Amino acid sequence: MVTTERMWTEYFRPKTLDDVVGQQEIVDRLKQLVTQADFPHMLFSGPPGVGKTTSAEAVINEVFSLAQRAANVKRLNASDDRGINVVREDIKNFARVLPSGGAKFKLIILDEADQMTSEAQHALRRTMETYNEITRFILICNYSSKIISPIQSRCAIFRFKGLQKDEVISRLKFIASNKKLKIDKGGLESLYKSSEGDMRQAINALQAAASLTKDVTDKVVYQVQGYIKPAELTDIIFNCIGPKPNFSAARKKVVTLMESYGLSGQDLVKQFNSQLSTIAEEDLPGHLRYEALAMLSDVDYRLVSGCNPLVQFDAFLAKLIALAQS
């Protein structure tokens, strides 16, 4: 049973930079920067669920005392507050006021900054420049390419990487142990694969699986994630590239999977893409793999444009069979 002291230690105490896993190079750089009086603006970019927001919270805890945080730290989610008025009013009004409580500067955290409009980013650039002496910014985004160059040039850029398999699985084992869950190797593997290195998604999937049963297996994970078992996707592919191609069987399987799992066309494209990359070379020769991946990219483009998913997958399967037979 988890003691009250351990729950505080693991879940409720303020996070520090030492709590960030899988990003040691970034942690080392941040530790150096937070000790400097000339604290720079920072831009955290990288895939979701790898520790960007946690790192920002850790920086707050390293720089400000508990008494200083309320008056000197502002957090905004730029996907909600993304327009130019938010920058001109909320952000500017906060940034222009001198820090209080003995703090050297104020800090504004802008999560999902890549969702801000171009006009808002240009207004933000000016605010960052004008109040640089008393206010610092940490911008958090998934895609740094969506942040305008004038802002990037004003920031120390930290590029977060996806978490390694052992780091994700280690944390999942810790949670499963504390929650008295039984989770086998297949369950851990499927949680990692379906989350694609996103720790947050992996933990949420574990919680969803645990709501169904205390015995978490790959079957349960695939069920709650709407993730197709790799063997089912492989069957579809082999129905197209095998010595006796069967278009009807492959198409029927695609229709069944979309209906039973409730997948969108783009979800299926994503999972096909992942599976094509894992099939052994002797089963799927290089030229077939490359052509299949290229055809999938065409399917994805057409789905984004509003085309019918079943028609697009019919074309994909037919092209794959024709390619394998040529």
Segment 194-218, tens digit of pLDDT: 887 788 888 888 988 888 888 888 8
Q: How confident is the model at residue 79 (pLDDT cuts 50, 70, 90)?
A: low
State how far the Cα of 112 lies from the Cα of 108, in Å rounded to an integer. Answer: 13
Q: What is the pTM of this model?
A: 0.76
> In the predicted model, what is the mean pLDDT of the chain?
86
Residue among 100, 184, 85 nearest 135 (CA): 100
Residue 56: the pLDDT is: 92
Q: What is the mean pLDDT of residues 136-142?
A: 93
Q: How confident is the model at residue 1 (pLDDT cuts 50, 70, 90)?
A: very low
Per-residue pLDDT at 7 exceeds 60: no
Q: Domains for the chain: give ranges and CATH numbers.
A: 4-159 (3.40.50.300), 165-225 (1.10.8.60), 230-325 (1.20.272.10)
Residue 13: the pLDDT is: 63
State how far the Cα of 209 lies from the Cα of 191, in Å rounded to an integer. Answer: 10
Counted residue by residue, the chain has a size of 326
Per-residue pLDDT at 140 exceeds 80: yes
Burial class (CB within 10 angstroms; exposed 0-12, middle 13-18, buried 19+) of 117 = middle
